[in-house]
Structure 1
Amino acid sequence: MSQSVPKIDELLSSTRRSALHLEMRDGYMQDDPALRAWRAGHRLDPDDRASWWRPWLGVIAATVARGVEIRRARIVSEPVSEYIRYEYDVTFPNVRAGEQVRWLPRRNGSTIALPGNDFWLFDDRIVRWGHFSGDGDALGGEITEDEAAVKLCSDAFEAVWERAVPHEKYTV
C-alpha cells in the first residue's frame, strides 16, 4: 500500500456526481474515544448541533451542496453487534449533513457478489479500498481505477442499495 493514497475528503473535493460507500464489518476501531464514551452512556443530542457537528460533516455538506449524491450502505449481522448499535445511534449527523444511509441485514445479501474490502467509489471511476485488521483497526487504503474493480463495486453497491432499508426505517 502506498503512503500517497488520498484521504476521503481529498477525493470528495474533486468528485462531481456521486460518492458511494459500502461498509461490511460489524465493528471498527474499538478503542475510539467516541465509542468508549457511548459505552459509558453518552448519547448525542440531536437538538444540540454544536455538540456533534464536526469537520467531516462540513465536508459532506459542502460536497452535497455542489450537487454530489453521497450514499452509504452498511451490511450488518443481526442481531447487531454493540458497535453497530453505536454506529446506528451516531448516524443521524451524517444524514443531516446530506448523506443517504441504508442498512442491509447480512442474511438478505447472501446472493450478492461483494468485494473483499469496504470501499468508496467516486464518480464511477475511482475505487478507494479501506483495509482493516481483524479487530477493525484502520490499516490504510488503496486506490484503483481498474475497470473490473469499478464495475464490481458499482454492481455490488447498487444490489445492496436496492435491498437495504433506509436509515429512518431501520431499527436495531
Structure 2
Amino acid sequence: MGLTSQEFEELPYQVQREALHLNMRDAYGTTTELPQLAKWQAGEVDDFAWLQPWCDLMRASTAAGKVFRRANVVSEPLSDYHQWALAIEVPMVAAGQDIRWISRRNVSTLLFPGNDFWLFDDELVVFLHYTGTGMNADFETCTDPAIIKRCRDSFEAVWALGVPHGEYRPVS
C-alpha cells in the first residue's frame, strides 16, 4: 500500500515512542530541498527558516521523551548533497534529532533493505522509492512483523558503526 506525500509527512507527528530513518542514497531531489541546495551551491547563506517546522517537532518530541534517529550511509568523498546535508543537519541535531554518519565502505558486510526507510514505533515501515534523479516516487508501507524486525536489525547494525553528527569528519 502506498501513501500520498501528505500522509507520509504526517507520520512523524504521530510517533508515540521512536522513529528511525535510514538514508542510503548519495543524492536526493525533494521539491523542498532542491531550492535550498541550489542556494548553498551558489554560496548563499541559509537562515534555516524552512527547517523550523521540523526542528519544532524535534524539540517537542524529544521533550516528550520520543526518539528520532537518522543514519546516513554515504560515499566518501561526500556528494554535493551530503556536503550540504552536513551543514543543514546542525539545527536538527540541536533540536534533538540524533544523526549518525557511516561511510559506505564500513557497511559492505551488512545486509539491509534495498531502499531507504522510516520505521515508526516498531509498527510501520515506510520504504522510500526514488526516481533515478532522486525525486520521491512512492511511499510503500509494510506492517509485517518479520520485515519490521529485519529493518530494525539492519538499522541498529548500521547505527552501531555510525559516527555522531558532531564528530563526523568526512574523508576528502
Check the 8 A contact 2:3/2:141 in 1, yes or no: no
Counterpart mapping for 1:133-148 below 5 A? 133-148=131-146
Equivalent in 93, 111, 120 of residue 113 of structure 1: 111
CA contact (8 A) 2:4 2:139 kept: no
Q: Say if 2:72 and 2:100, in contact at 8 Å, map to a contact too.
A: yes
1:114 counterpart letter in structure 2: F
Q: TM-score, normalised by structure 1?
A: 0.89
Partner of 2:157: 159
Preserved CA contact (<8 Å) 1:29 1:135: yes
Q: How does 1:27-46 map to 2 (within 5 A)?
A: 27-29=27-29, 32-44=34-46
Deviating above 4 A after TM superposition, structure 1's stretches of 4 or more consecutive aligned residues are 3-6
How far does residue 52 in structure 1 lie from its aligned partner after superposition? Answer: 5.7
The corresponding residue for 2:18 is 18
Q: Which residue of structure 2 aligns with residue 95 of structure 1?
A: 93
CA contact (8 A) 2:62 2:96 kept: yes
Partner of 1:168: 166
Paired amino acid for 2:78:
V
Consecutive unaligned residues of structure 1, counting only runs of 5 or more, are: none
Q: Distance in 2 between matches of 1:151 and 1:6?
A: 26
Contact 1:44–1:52, Cα closer than 8 Å, also in 2: no
- What is the root-mean-square deviation of aligned Cα atoms in Å? 2.0
Cα distance in structure 2, aligned partners of 1:22 and 1:3 = 18
Q: Structure 1 CA distance, aligned partners of 2:30 and 2:51?
A: 22
What fraction of aligned residue pairs are identical, expressed as a percent? 43
CA distance in 2, matches of 1:156, 1:164: 13
CA distances 1:88-127 after superposition (whole Å, capped 9, x unpaired)? 1111011012100000000000111110111110111210
Aligned residues: 168
Shift of 1:142: 1.4
